[in-house]
Structure 1
Amino acid sequence: MYVIKSITAALALATVFGAQEAEAATITPYTFTWSGVGPGTPYQSVVNFTLSGTQTAALSLSFYTGSGSDRTGYILLDGATRLTTASATACDSGGAPFAGGCSFIYSNTVDGTTLFAGLDAGEYTLGVLETAQPSSGTLEFDLTVEGIPSEVPLPAGGLLLIGALGGIAALRKRQKAA
């Protein structure tokens, strides 16, 4: 009887105190939409995001509305370090932070293509520069972040502990009645 009580109590305590934080992946979309772009009227926009601690991320193309020979320049900076360098001068007309190198999304780039993987903790800048074609469009990136601890619901562990204590009390009462 003592063995059953000990096992029940140990299981209840292990459930409450041994629970570990689970990791969940979150996906954040970054959407850039423009219209009326042409010579002398470029579109440019940037967003900043931060990865902290043990977080890692991947940046992928969600979708692009370009067609034919359309292409749109984009940048990704990790602090001051430029991660996009496919063309050293194509985005210079955008000034900072575009000058110095950008990469391109082409109309035939497959949706879901991973552009960068293994992004670690840091301050990032993601930007889009469109100077000619398409004159209107949308480009959306997905940032998939892993390593975000999700909360473990403590009420479930508490209910298990209460149930285990109730079981122990019932066993004691039964033992005294015998």
Structure 2
Amino acid sequence: MKTNIFPAIKLTLITLIFFGALYPAIVWGIAQLAPNHGHGEVVKANGKRYYANIGQAFTEDRFFNSRPSAVAYNAAGSGGSNKGPSNKEYLGIVQARIDTFLIHNPGIDKKDIPVELVTASGSGLDPDISPKAALVQVKRIAAARNTTEDKIRQIVNSNTEKPLLGMFGPEKVNVLNLNIALEKL
């Protein structure tokens, strides 16, 4: 019995020290080398602080809409709906999002709505949309702000992030940064 218990206790203590103290200290140290020391991408606008790396709700017609969230944009607990494409409740939710989008964006065909504008991401906190998802909203925003569609398109184009090194990942637009740029018009 001694031959099994003492090695098990030693392994437990070594694992506890490594994963309870050393590993978190190493991760914390690496985070200190990151911009903003691992506290996220903080953006200040209108006297408030926002996190650009966490999705946020924008529902007014004068703003670009974010991707829907299954967790109501609560960063304390990220997660998806875990409902599959054959789930009737989920299909009803997506259809309601499509209907709402079409009401707020007249002249857009259902087939032209990018999927990320009616489905939540796996985390429910995705802060980015595709340039296509931003451009499909230009007409509504230009009308709500009494400006030209070209001005709104320029804002989208200037806020579009290219893939890392030109090949890793898709083009994307951060919705918070896009809406802050709109407010500066």
Q: TM-score, normalised by structure 1?
A: 0.24
* Structure of larger gyration radius: 1
